[in-house]
Amino acid sequence: MPDMKKYDLILDALQQLLEEKKIQNISVSEIAQKAGIGKGSIYYYFPSKDAILDALIQRSYETPLQTASNLAAQTDISPFTRMAMLLQACRNSSIAFLKQNNSSSSDASAQDIAYLHQKYLNHVISKLKPDLAEIIKQGVESGEIHFDYPAALAEIVLIVIAVKLDNSLLPSSIEETEDTMRGLISLLEKGTEVKPGTLSYLSFISQM
């Protein structure tokens, strides 16, 4: 059975090294040395440095995402309220990521930052998509939402929100982000045939 203490030591070591140097200059040997364990032990837990980075991102932003998953399962709450909870978690996770990224070492290159952003966005979207799709599906079944492709809609919404909140792939001003969110809300309301104004609460997402 894996030793979770060593698992966390490995993640802690990579996190510390990322504050000191560029990703491409960090080796598995350095991670092992920083963690105080043998290099061979690293491969018992992770097949590669990339896998360690994936696990670090998951651990760093897991709390708000897990909270969203738990709330999404509470079917006694309306689908619109649960959508808001889940997307709020996406926003909170993005804020946490950006704060940590902004406090990282100034030695981080644009390539490093872009790589971390890509990893982060992939994690958030893949983690939240099943929950959001299920909420939309339940809304369809209850007659509150009208849409034939819940999973596709969930993915579209999360991609737009995650990219806009990250604000690195397509840098935008606050006003531009707010315009995008208003457009997304309008499209969602028309596409799912809900009363205009039903999803207006989603405007909070752009308030970073």
What pLDDT, on a 0 to 100 scale, did the predictor assign at position 1?
A: 46
Interval 13-36 mean pLDDT:
89
Residue labelled with tokens 């997304």: 184
CB atoms within 10 A of CB 99: 9
Global pTM?
0.75
**Across 17-21, 49-53, 138-142, least confident range:** 17-21
To the nearest 10 degrees (0 to 180), the angle between helices 150-166 and 174-191 is: 170
| Each residue's pLDDT tens digit, 140-150 | 999 989 999 99
What pLDDT, on a 0 to 100 scale, did the predictor assign at position 100?
A: 67
Interval 24-29 mean pLDDT:
90
Cβ contacts of 60 within 8 Å, gap of 6 or more? 15, 96, 97, 100
pLDDT for residue 202 is more than 80: no
Interval 182-198 mean pLDDT:
87
Of residues 201 and 123, which shows the higher confidence score? 123
Q: 119 is written with which tokens?
A: 């990893």
Residue 128 CB burial class (10 angstroms; 0-12, 13-18, ≥19): buried
List phi, psi (to 5°) of 7.
-55, -50
Task: Give percent above pLDDT 70 in the chain.
Answer: 88
Length, in residues, of the chain? 208
Interval 179-186 mean pLDDT:
87
CA pair distance 152, 129, nearest whole angstrom: 9
Could you tell me the pLDDT band of residue 196, with boundaries at 50, 70 and 90? confident
pLDDT for residue 31 is more than 90: yes
| Each residue's pLDDT tens digit, 80-96 | 888 887 877 777 777 77
